[in-house]
Amino acid sequence: MEPSRLVVGVDGFDDVLSRAATAREFATRFSYFGTEFVWSGEVNMFPAFRELPPEVQQYYPSYWHNETGVPEAWLGLPKEVPYPFLNFGGWVGTAGRAALVMKAVHDLLRCTLHPKAAAAEQPQPAEGASPAPENATYCPPHDQAAAQIVLVSDVCRTPGDEGAKCMLDMYGQVFFSGYPSCEGLIPRIDGYWWNSKSGTTPLTVHYNGMAKGTCFETGAGEYMQSRRTGWFNRVDVSPDTPVQVTRASFHGDGLLETHNHTFGELCPGFKGQGLPW
């Protein structure tokens, strides 16, 4: 795949796409950010900063720090944005940068040494092996924790945050994370959605965490997944369309397994005409 090609990733279990979620619209909105990779934002910091290495909060992009022209009194304070924290359930970026970001996440899930431990010249684990606890300062337990570290690593940021290679969708211009109660989300009968909290029209909705219950209690879940507004009624696919499925390893080692399928293999009832099944 060409490094400049745009790719999108969303959780397969609890994400829904709006009627506006076309390839052209993803590309248009991504261009507004002027960066190579954009992660979905949410209202909740998970895991909490206290559970992560200290440099995560020190360099987190939703706090004022080391930015040209920022008053000294602002340094270290949180930015007043509706969605200041990373959510792993949605991202969009160039294929080249996405490959680097996902490799960095994968490497952390293999429990390689955190850079701080490597700088102390502690021994590296053998290829494919998990290090002993004393060899690592922090081993992320899941992809969300690993992503929080990658966000402030050299893969994503630059000194002073000028020209950062990764950004957060802090205003919900592309994504909407529902935790804890889908506040502000207004589904419409035409399949488009309105986020009254940020004044935007998100392309995806992620029922992350307890949102799986609270959002469905409002009726939003059933409404957005109905035949009238469901994304599958508008996506142009054939039985031969390639689909890549990534999931956690069943071996309990924290690794990600990737499998290539066709749409027909995953949905054998798909006929390629009209409704999918």
| SS (HEC) of the chain | CCCCCEEEEECCCCEEECCCCCHHHHHHHHHCCCCCEEEEEECCCCCCHHHCCHHHHHHCCCECCCCCCCCHHHCCCECCCCCCEEEEEEEEEEHHHHHHHHHHHHHHHCCCCCHHHHHCCCCCCCCCCCCCHHHCCCCCCCHHHHHHHHHCCCCCCCHHHCCCCEEEECCCCCEEECCCCCCCEEECCCCCEEECCCCECCCEEECCCCHHHHHHHCCHHHHHCCCCCCHHHCCCCCCCCEEEEEEECCCCCCCEEEEEEEHHHHCCCCCCCCCCC
Asked which of 118, 144, 172 is the last residue of a domain, the reply is 172
* Domain shared by 161 and 250, yes or no: no
* Domain shared by 58 and 146, yes or no: yes
* Domain shared by 108 and 245, yes or no: no
* Domain shared by 147 and 275, yes or no: no
Asked which of 117, 151, 172 is the last residue of a domain, the reply is 172
* Domain shared by 30 and 144, yes or no: yes
Contact 22, 8 (CB under 8 A): no
Beta-bridge partners for 260: 244
Model confidence at 124, in pLDDT bands (50, 70, 90)? very low
In this predicted structure, the answer to whether residue 273 has a pLDDT above a threshold of 60 is no
Asked which of 172, 207, 230 is the last residue of a domain, the reply is 172
Q: Which residue has the higher pLDDT, 26 or 13?
A: 26
Asked whether residue 125 is domain-assigned, the answer is: yes
Using CA atoms, how far apart are residues 17 and 87, in angstroms rounded to an integer?
16
Q: Which residue has the higher pLDDT, 258 or 81?
A: 81
Asked whether residue 195 is domain-assigned, the answer is: no
* pLDDT at position 123: 43
| Distances 187 to 24, 176, 183, 201, 230 between C-alpha atoms, Å | 21, 12, 12, 10, 12
Instruction: Fill in the amino acid letter for 195.
Output: N
Asked whether residue 145 is domain-assigned, the answer is: yes
User: Mind listing the pLDDT tens digit for each residue in 37-79?
Assistant: 999 999 999 999 999 999 899 889 888 776 656 677 777 778 8
User: Mind listing the pLDDT tens digit for each residue in 173-230?
Assistant: 999 999 998 899 887 777 788 999 999 999 999 988 888 777 766 566 565 555 444 4
Nearest to 90 by CA among 169, 6, 164, 200: 169
Asked whether residue 248 is domain-assigned, the answer is: yes
Q: Which residue has the higher pLDDT, 97 or 241?
A: 97
* Domain shared by 168 and 262, yes or no: no
* pLDDT at position 219: 60
* Domain shared by 269 and 145, yes or no: no
In this predicted structure, the answer to whether residue 115 has a pLDDT above a threshold of 70 is no
Nearest to 236 by CA among 273, 261, 268: 273
Domain count, the chain: 2
Model confidence at 163, in pLDDT bands (50, 70, 90)? low
pLDDT, mean of residues 1-9: 92
Asked whether residue 205 is domain-assigned, the answer is: no
In this predicted structure, the answer to whether residue 147 has a pLDDT above a threshold of 80 is yes
Length in residues, the chain: 277
* pLDDT at position 227: 47
* Domain shared by 139 and 258, yes or no: no
Mean pLDDT of all residues belonging to the chain: 78
Asked whether residue 165 is domain-assigned, the answer is: yes
In this predicted structure, the answer to whether residue 80 has a pLDDT above a threshold of 70 is yes
140 lies in which domain range? 6-172
In this predicted structure, the answer to whether residue 162 has a pLDDT above a threshold of 60 is no
* pLDDT at position 117: 43
Asked whether residue 184 is domain-assigned, the answer is: no
Asked whether residue 190 is domain-assigned, the answer is: no
- The token pair at 191 is 């399949």
Q: Which residue has the higher pLDDT, 135 or 239?
A: 239
